[in-house]
């Protein structure tokens, strides 16, 4: 007989997406089983973590994992991007990023989850699953043994290996990454980023005393060339890496094709994809790990909502909306950043990446259609209005106000105590997304005070009964600036 096990959630894969979800689900009181196919620590690319990672670790009560090892915090950067002159961006301007040993960090996160009650099968490979009345039945393979796990949910966090090309749509042109180590004694103790005509290069000292260097180029560059030749040729034409390129040993080079993609059906019957099993991001921003973990936190809110309230539709909409938002905002940011690079539009590498890209999906699912619609060009933002609050408050105080005719009130899911609940949000062409709260204050009840004959001043006074006066003024000016709260004298 094969061993049987029942749980609320089965997670597949112990990368940052899987363990982040496990830690949060355990904190919310759910039973979690995780299967990881590799023994840890295993090598893993992606060691430069963006500043936003810190508040995720704080939230998981895992801050200690970023400080207990000999990781590098707050490196300065030398950057050649929008001009051919190197710029120094100091650590304070870059924000508090951290260079880690990913294999070690992933192991530390997994150990922490086990201390907090995770049941782990490792090394154990997830092989298959089938739907049952109450959820899913999965088969795990550990050595020669098959383990059966019954769960309400499966969270698939298998990374890039976790899905087939036919279920993905590309959201950027494919790129080739080639990486190796340059002699650390010839390199500065800074992060280096340089745009070249054929692609871009990133390098950084690593906590184990090496200098990791990755080049990102178009696949066509490898045609008729060997990987070491392309790597050396690219480095030798740079300003920042050129000197060390001559002393470089070619024996440790690795390469992969970087596909940037989204899964076209990331949620099917309580089978949810997380991290790079759901979507991957262009490595330009070094935010892959942060975005994977942030998305796991949102997926956990959806799972928790179903387990505690049964509201599946609302949970699925929330999960899909957050994923679409994450992909589209990142894609618009990266294409804008590629467009600023000095080589410019006459070079195919830069031209192709300077506009948001989404491929045709072989299977145009409802999710794909919503994602594609979000890729239409973002609204041009007008120049920021600088408001002299004292002066404007005096000027507008007796002005009559009314609400914009383009304002729509809409029921929308909001996260309240780790569960989704419907709240009335406002929707307006000048807002990037629906908004139910502003500075933690629910907006729609405030707007009901914008009744007939109300003035800017009477509204501020009315709101100051609920929130401090300064906050009431800030909220009024935010809504006025967006033309949601309108005065005759704008």
Ligand X SMILES: Cc1cc2nc3c(=O)[nH]c(=O)nc-3n(C[C@H](O)[C@H](O)[C@H](O)COP(=O)(O)OP(=O)(O)OC[C@H]3O[C@@H](n4cnc5c(N)ncnc54)[C@H](O)[C@@H]3O)c2cc1C
**For residues 121-160, which are near ligand X according to CB under 6 A?**
125-126, 157-159
Least distance in angstroms from the C-beta of 118 to ligand X: 14
Q: Of 6-14, 112-120, 435-443, 463-471, which segment contacts ligand X by CB under 6 A?
A: 6-14
Q: Which is nearer to ligand X, 286 or 354 (CB)?
A: 286
- Smallest gap from Cβ 204 to ligand X, in A, equals 9
Minimum CB distance to ligand X smaller for 283 or for 356: 283
Instruction: Tell me which of 206, 213, 260, 286 binds ligand X, using CB under 6 A.
Output: 286
CA distance 101 to 356: 32
User: What is the rounded CA–CA span in Å between residue 51 and residue 320?
Assistant: 25
E-assigned strand segments in 197-251: 199-205, 211-217
Q: Could you give the CA distance from residue 157 to residue 12 in angstroms, rounded to a whole number?
A: 5
Query: How distant, in Å, are the alpha carbons of 12, 64, 194, 462 from that of 46?
Result: 20, 20, 18, 51
Segment contacting ligand X (CB under 6 A): 32-40, 245-253, 306-314, 343-351? 32-40
Among 9, 11, 17, 414, binds ligand X (CB under 6 A): 17
Does 271 engage in binding with ligand X (CB under 6 A)? no
Residues near 197 by beta carbon (within 8 Å), at least 6 away in sequence: 343, 347, 349
Instruction: Report, in Å, the least distance between residue 309 CB and ligand X.
Output: 28
Phi, psi of 21 (to 5 degrees): -65, -40
Nearest distance from C-beta of residue 292 to ligand X, angstroms: 4
Instruction: For ligand X, give the closer residue by CB, 159 or 199.
Output: 159
DSSP-H helix ranges across 417-455: 443-447
Q: Which of 169, 174, 241, 173 is nearest to 201 (CA)?
A: 241
Stretch that binds ligand X, among 188-196, 287-295, 342-350, 430-438 (CB under 6 A): 287-295
Nearer to ligand X, 38 or 197 (CB): 38
| 275: region left, alpha or beta (phi > 0 left; psi from -120 to 50 alpha) | left
Dist. CA 483–CA 360, nearest whole Å: 37
Residues from 219 through 258 that contact ligand X (CB under 6 A): 256, 258
Q: How far is the CB of 143 from ligand X (least distance, A)?
A: 14
Residues 6+ apart with CB under 8 A from 78: 86, 87, 88, 89, 188, 190, 191, 192, 193, 240
Q: Which stretch binds ligand X (CB under 6 A): 245-253, 280-288, 346-354, 381-389?
A: 280-288
Pair of tokens at residue 265: 């059906």
Binding span for ligand X by CB under 6 A among 37-45, 238-246, 408-416, 444-452: 37-45
Among 289, 371, 414, 475, binds ligand X (CB under 6 A): 289
Q: How many residues bind ligand X (CB under 6 A)?
A: 37
Distance CA 21, CA 274 (A): 9
Looking only at residues 43 through 82 of this chain, which bind ligand X when binding is defined by CB under 6 A?
Answer: 44-49
Shortest Cβ 191–ligand X spacing (Å)? 10
Both tokens of 116, joined, read 């907090």
Which lies closer to ligand X via its Cβ, residue 199 or residue 283? 283
* SS3 label, residue 333: helix
Q: Which of residues 190-219 bind ligand X (CB under 6 A)?
A: 214
Distances (CA, A) of 363 to 165, 209, 265, 278, 367: 11, 47, 9, 16, 10
Q: Is 407 helix (H, G, I), strand (E, B) or coil?
A: coil
The residue from 171, 287, 334, 335 that contacts ligand X (CB under 6 A) is 287
Interacting span for ligand X (CB under 6 A) from 57-65, 275-283, 319-327, 394-402: 275-283
| Binder among 170, 177, 186, 449 for ligand X (CB under 6 A) | 177
State yes or no: residue 35 binds ligand X (CB under 6 A).
yes
Instruction: Give the binding site for ligand X (CB under 6 A).
Output: 12-18, 35-38, 44-49, 125-126, 157-159, 161-162, 177, 214, 256, 258, 275-276, 283, 286-290, 292
């Amino acid at each position: 007989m094969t061993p049987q096990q029942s749980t609320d959630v089965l997670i597949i894969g112990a990368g940052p997406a899987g363990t982040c979800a496990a830690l949060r689900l355990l904190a919310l009181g759910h039973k979690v089983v995780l299967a990881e196919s590799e023994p840890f620590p295993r090598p893993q690319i992606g060691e430069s973590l963006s500043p936003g990672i810190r508040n995720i670790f704080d939230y998981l009560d895992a801050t200690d994992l970023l400080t207990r090892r000999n990781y590098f915090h707050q490196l300065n950067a030398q950057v050649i991007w929008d001009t051919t002159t190197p710029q120094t961006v100091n650590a304070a301007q870059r924000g508090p990023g951290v260079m880690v040993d990913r294999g070690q960090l992933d192991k530390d996160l997994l150990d922490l989850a086990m201390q907090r009650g995770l049941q782990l099968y490792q090394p154990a490979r997830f092989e298959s699953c089938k739907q049952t009345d109450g959820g899913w039945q999965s088969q795990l393979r550990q050595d020669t043994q098959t383990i059966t796990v019954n769960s309400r949910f499966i969270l698939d966090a298998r990374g890039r290996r976790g899905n087939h090309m036919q279920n993905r749509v590309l959201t950027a042109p494919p790129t080739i990454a080639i990486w190796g180590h340059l002699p650390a004694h010839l390199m500065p103790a800074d992060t280096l980023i340089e745009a070249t005509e054929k692609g871009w290069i990133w390098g950084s000292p690593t906590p184990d005393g090496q200098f990791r260097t990755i080049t990102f180029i178009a696949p066509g560059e490898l045609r008729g060339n060997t990987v070491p030749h392309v790597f050396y040729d690219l480095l030798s034409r740079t300003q920042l890496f050129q000197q060390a390129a001559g002393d470089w040993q070619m024996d440790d080079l690795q390469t992969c094709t970087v596909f940037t993609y989204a899964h076209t059906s990331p949620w099917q019957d309580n089978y949810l994809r997380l991290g790079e099993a759901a979507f991957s991001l262009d490595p330009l921003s070094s935010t892959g790990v942060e975005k994977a973990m942030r998305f796991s936190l949102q997926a956990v809110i959806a799972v928790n909502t179903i387990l505690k309230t049964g509201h599946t539709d609302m949970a699925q909409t929330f999960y899909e909306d957050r994923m679409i938002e994450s992909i589209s905002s990142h894609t618009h940011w990266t294409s804008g950043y590629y467009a600023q690079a000095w080589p410019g539009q006459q070079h195919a590498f830069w031209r192709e990446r300077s506009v948001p890209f989404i491929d045709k999906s072989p299977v145009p699912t409802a999710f794909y259609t919503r994602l594609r619609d979000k890729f239409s060009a973002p609204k041009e933002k007008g120049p920021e209005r600088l408001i002299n609050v004292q002066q404007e408050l005096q000027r507008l105080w007796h002005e009559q106000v009314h609400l914009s005719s383009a304002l729509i009130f809409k029921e929308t899911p909001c996260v309240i105590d780790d569960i989704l609940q419907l709240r009335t949000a406002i929707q307006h062409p000048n807002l990037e997304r629906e908004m139910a709260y502003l500075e933690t204050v629910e907006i729609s009840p405030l707007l009901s005070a914008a009744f007939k004959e109300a003035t800017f001043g009477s509204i501020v006074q009315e709101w100051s009964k609920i929130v401090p006066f300064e906050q009431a003024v800030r909220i009024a000016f935010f809504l006025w600036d967006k033309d949601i709260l309108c005065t005759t004298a704008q």
